[in-house]
Amino acid sequence: MSSVELTSLKAKHDAEIQKLTEQSGVDASKCYQCGKCSAGCPVAFAMDYPPRAIIRFLQLGLLDQALRSKTIWLCAGCHTCSVRCPKEVDIATVMETLRILAKKKGYIGDKNIDLFHNAFLKSVERNGRVYEAGLVLTRNLFGRQFFRDTGHGLPMVQKGKISMLPHSIKDNGEVKKIFENVRKRGGNV
């Protein structure tokens, strides 16, 4: 990374970071960089930046750096960091808010993860519930992971643990309406 001039950078992104603080309800400036979040994070080993660094980016006005990180896509949302933070910064919620914003801006840190969640929500919108067999099929086909979990398929069917057909609910279109109403309010779904 090349050097950056922090005073002007912070001024430039101040409004956006303020908005992020409002959306998440979390004030990242409270963080004093102790690193406890990163020490306890079960996925930190696979991230490009540890959670502590993401919070630091926000303190310094380096919003784009945070939004383009793989970290926000790899966060498992387990809330260990939030529970352990001595300054009560809810880091997990910051990660979630950053990821929603990144998606809106078209910064997709991991195509397969994004594909999975899109397919999941499509299934919920269509059927009211998740259709697991269909979801796995979509994930494998479009993510080009053709043989993922295929060995588990037959035992799953034999044990009566997966249905080959989707189960739709009789909700008079209520769930579809929820998705529509969220879109009307600017939701990116």
The residue type of 44 is A
Q: Does 61 bind other proteins (CB under 8 A)?
A: no
Q: Does 178 bind other proteins (CB under 8 A)?
A: yes
* Helix (H/G/I), strand (E/B), else coil: 52: helix
8 A C-beta contact, residue 51 and residue 44: yes
Please state the closest distance from residue 109 (CB atom) to other proteins, in A. Answer: 11
Please state the closest distance from residue 8 (CB atom) to other proteins, in A. Answer: 31
Give the per-residue contact string, 132-151, with other proteins (x = CB under 8 A; - = no). Answer: x------x---x-x--x---
Give the per-residue contact string, 157-176, with other proteins (x = CB under 8 A; - = no). Answer: --xxxxx---x-xxx--xx-
- Whole-number Å distance between alpha carbons of 61 and 65: 9
Query: Any long-range contacts for 171-174 (C-beta under 8 Å, 24+ apart)?
Result: 171/128
Nearer to other proteins (CB atom), residue 14 or residue 171: 171
Give the per-residue contact string, 110-129, with other proteins (x = CB under 8 A; - = no). Answer: x-xx-xxxx-xx--x---xx
What is the maximum alpha-carbon separation in the chain? Answer: 63
Nearer to other proteins (CB atom), residue 8 or residue 145: 145
Cα dihedral sign for 17, 18, 23, 29?
Answer: positive
Tokens 């992020």 -> residue: 20
124: tokens are: 């919920």
8 A C-beta contact, residue 18 and residue 29: no
Q: Applying CB under 8 A, which residues contact other proteins?
A: 23, 42-43, 45-46, 74, 76-80, 82-84, 90, 92, 96-97, 99-100, 103, 110, 112-113, 115-118, 120-121, 124, 128-130, 132, 139, 143, 145, 148, 152, 155-156, 159-163, 167, 169-171, 174-175, 177-179, 181-182, 185, 187-189
